[in-house]
Amino acid sequence: MNAVPTAVPRWHRPMLATLSSERSADDGWVVERKLDGVRCLAFRDGDRVRLLSRGEKPMDRTYPEIVDALAAQAVPRFVVDGEIVAFDGRRTSFATLQGRLGVQDEQAARLSPVRVFYYVFDLLHLGGHDVTGLPLTDRKALLEESLDYADPLRLSVHRRGSQAAAMYEEACRCGEEGVVIKRADSAYRGGRSADWLKLKCVRDQELVVGGWTAAKGSRQGFGALLVGYYDGDALRFAGKVGTGFDDRALADLSHRLAGLAADASPFAETVREDDVRWVTPTLVAQVGFSEWTRDGRLRHPRFRGIREDKAARDVVREAR
């Protein structure tokens, strides 16, 4: 399929990777680093640049330096897909990025000590043409030659699929997120696809907050978050998360939870916990854990941060 003449779209549903344990691939695939940040689609139409999360939430004011970098490009019309990240040493860190998530004041964002970068890995529209039907490797070639890459804008480097196993082992050895393997001839299609596979070094996933337990002892705020995932229309209980919070996270979450107070449990199952407060299930947390138990609970869960870029009803249990 060739590029199709069309106006810059106002939105395009992002293509999502499927969790996999397959570590080998041939050169009909390409492999990239999996970055620990926030997904972002960027739309430029002349003088207007818009940054949208995978849930279609605007992020222009949160990351104005990225808007500036895209507005300075010679190409006046394009749509790109990528990941906004912050670093902790040499590793991308969602925890570090928390310092910018949710900031809606442009001046405050520009003054923030948290430095961010936009790693671009795909091209959806270029110069008045929809290129989503082109093979991935063609889109990547166009992406590399069409934009100028200077911080905070960076090009996500890819390698041949035959290097997937080595890249995955290196990522895990360095404490990184993992890798993403993509079919080299695949078109860009919105939604989750087996043409993109993600291999994680550390197990984690997004979960919906449905309640919390009271704090005990000297702890302030709350004791643990009660979390779950959607199975159809039912919110399934996945356990409680009581570690991973610093004082700032406890204070921020306590304030947000108070504004979501509800009279009844949102979970489909009976939750047998003492001193529980329920909330409307709209808040999404990133949670690390060691494994799922046989009864569908998280083992050794740890809070990693709040996700502003995903709707609660889109949260399902990832399985491999």
> How large a percentage of the chain has pLDDT more than 70?
99
Task: With respect to residue 180, please indicate whether it lies within any of the assigned structural domains.
Answer: no
Do 152 and 243 belong together in one domain?
A: no
187 located within any domain: no
Residues 152, 265 within the same domain: no
Q: Name the CA dihedral angle for 289, 236, 198, 90, rounded to a multiple of 10 degrees.
A: -40
Amino acid 24: pLDDT: 83
Contact present, 81 and 51 (Cβ < 8 Å) = no
CATH code for position 224: 2.40.50.140
Residue 269 pLDDT: 95
Structural domain that includes position 73: 4-17+31-158
Q: Are residues 144 and 231 in the same domain?
A: no
Domain assignment present for residue 196? The answer is no
pLDDT of residue 4: 87
Which residue in the block uniquely carries the two structure tokens 């900031």? 103
CATH number of 71's domain: 3.30.470.30
Question: Is the domain of 122 the same as that of 56?
Answer: yes
Q: What is the pLDDT of residues 285-311, one digit of tens each?
A: 999 998 899 899 999 999 999 998 889
State which of 135, 158, 181 marks the end of a domain.
158
Whether 151 is in a domain gets the answer yes
Check whether residue 8 and residue 140 sit in a common domain: yes
Examine residue 195 and state whether it is found in any structural domain, yes or no: no
Give me the tens of pLDDT residue by residue for the chain, a chain 320 residues long. Answer: 468 889 999 999 999 999 998 888 999 999 999 999 999 999 999 999 999 999 999 999 999 999 999 999 999 999 999 999 999 999 999 999 999 988 999 999 999 999 999 999 999 999 999 999 999 999 999 999 999 999 999 999 999 999 999 999 999 999 899 999 999 999 999 999 999 999 999 889 999 999 999 998 777 889 999 999 999 999 999 999 999 999 889 999 999 999 999 999 999 999 999 999 999 999 999 999 988 998 999 999 999 999 988 899 999 998 75
For residues 141 and 79, membership in a common domain is answered with yes
- 8 & 137 share domain: yes
pTM of the model: 0.86
Same structural domain, 133 and 274:
no
Domain assignment of residue 78, yes or no: yes
Looking at 102, 128, 158, the residue that finishes a domain is: 158
Count of domains for the chain: 2
- Four-residue CA torsion sign, 87, 98, 80, 188: positive
What Å distances lie between residue 138 and 9, 130, 182, 243, CA to CA? 20, 13, 13, 45
**118 and 227 together in one domain:** no
Same domain, 122 and 212: no
In the residue annotation, 57 being an active-site residue is answered as: no
Domain final residue pick, 125, 141, 158: 158
- Spatial separation of the C-alpha atoms in residues 92 and 8, rounded to whole Å: 31
163 assigned to some structural domain? no
Q: Residue 1 has what pLDDT? A: 47
- In this structure, the answer to whether residues 13 and 151 fall within a common structural domain is yes
pLDDT tens, position by position, 100-133: 988 999 999 999 999 999 999 999 999 999 999 9
**Do 148 and 225 have their domain in common?**
no
Is 145 inside any structural domain? yes
Q: What whole-number distance in Å separates Cα of residue 8 and Cα of residue 44?
A: 8
